[in-house]
């Protein structure tokens, strides 16, 4: 058995700590890079876009219309800009411990779900909105800016000053290709795309973006 001096042991521990920290950083970098690659395939990821620009794009669109953009706040990577029952608002996406979640308080689900990708997160809330409908959609507290307008009398606000969150219709930054729209439709219709009687290259294209939105 070999003995090390206390100085040597401390050096080894420091090196191990540095290696662990480096591994975590590399893992986070890879996860975020993969998230961005998926987002660029969606068509509704706008990249660098300010809150005011997003508000103009969403102006006069119905409740449930949304887009995703880079966050203007340094502590966050992405932001969902969506039209709620109280008007346009912004929902920041938090990245922590290798997963993404909304930085909001969902009144109907205090334990916010975490996801391995941003597109998976968006897909979850889109499917929830489309499945449960207007009355049962999640409610979320918006970020401070911009402040939503008072809710109309025909659509009372949920308790605690929250607004209802619906995400049903993405706004595309550019016209998506027909191939991509077909891919999304096929993924919605089939849970086992790999088993479809299709050429291998086509199955690879379908599974390269295995989302429903």
**Residue 87: what pLDDT?**
87
Sequence length of the chain is: 213
Residue 145 has pLDDT above 50, yes or no: no
- Report the range out of 54-58, 81-85, 101-105, 148-152 with the highest average pLDDT: 54-58
Q: pLDDT tens, 102-136? A: 986 543 455 688 999 999 999 999 998 888 764 44
**Residue 6: what pLDDT?**
47
Per the listing, tokens 């009398």 go with 153
Domain boundaries, the chain: 51-170, 178-208
Rounded to an integer, the average pLDDT of 36-57 is 95
> pLDDT-derived band of residue 19, with 50, 70 and 90 as boundaries?
low
Q: What is the Cα–Cα distance from 90 to 84, expressed in whole angstroms?
A: 10
**Residue 4: what pLDDT?**
45
Q: Judge contact between 82 and 88, C-beta under 8 A.
A: yes
Return the structure tokens found at 144: 């401070």
Which of 12-16, 75-79, 159-163, 171-175 has the weakest average pLDDT?
12-16
Q: What is the mean pLDDT of the chain?
A: 79
**Of 80, 61, 58, 55, which is closest to residue 69 (Cα–Cα)?**
80
**Residue 80: what pLDDT?**
96
Q: What is the CA radius of gyration of the chain?
A: 21
Answer whether 51-170 and 178-208 agree in fold: no
The domain 178-208 having CATH identifier 3.40.630.30: the answer here is no
**Residue 17: what pLDDT?**
54
> pLDDT-derived band of residue 8, with 50, 70 and 90 as boundaries?
low
**Of 139 and 178, the one with more pLDDT:** 178
Residue 163 has pLDDT above 90, yes or no: no
Beta bridge partners of 83: 88
For the question of whether the overall pTM of this predicted structure is more than 0.85, the answer is no
Rounded to an integer, the average pLDDT of 37-44 is 95
Q: Directed axis angle between helix 118-132 and helix 6-42, to 10°?
A: 50
Which of 41-55, 60-74, 92-106, 131-145 has the weakest average pLDDT?
131-145
Q: pLDDT tens, 72-106? A: 988 899 999 999 888 898 999 999 889 999 986 54
Class in CATH terms, 51-170:
alpha beta
């Amino acid at each position: 058995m070999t003995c090390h001096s206390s100085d040597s042991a401390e050096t080894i521990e420091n090196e191990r700590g540095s290696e662990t920290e480096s591994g975590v950083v590399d893992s986070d970098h890879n996860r975020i890079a993969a998230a961005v690659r998926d987002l660029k395939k969606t068509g509704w990821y706008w990249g660098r876009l300010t809150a005011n620009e997003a508000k103009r794009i969403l102006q006069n669109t119905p409740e449930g219309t949304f887009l995703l953009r880079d966050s203007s706040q340094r502590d966050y990577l992405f932001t969902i800009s969506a039209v709620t029952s109280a008007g346009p608002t912004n929902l920041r996406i938090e990245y922590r411990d290798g997963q993404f979640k909304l930085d909001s308080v969902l009144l109907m689900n205090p334990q916010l779900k975490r996801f391995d990708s941003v597109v998976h997160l968006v897909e979850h809330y889109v499917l929830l909105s489309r499945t449960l409908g207007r009355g049962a959609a999640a409610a979320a507290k918006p970020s401070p800016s911009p402040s939503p307008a008072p809710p109309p009398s025909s659509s009372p606000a949920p308790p605690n000053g929250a607004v209802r969150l619906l995400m049903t219709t993405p706004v595309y930054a550019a016209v998506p290709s027909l191939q991509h729209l077909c891919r999304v439709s096929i993924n919605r219709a089939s849970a086992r795309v790999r088993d479809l009687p299709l050429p291998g290259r086509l199955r690879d294209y379908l599974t390269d973006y295995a989302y429903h939105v």
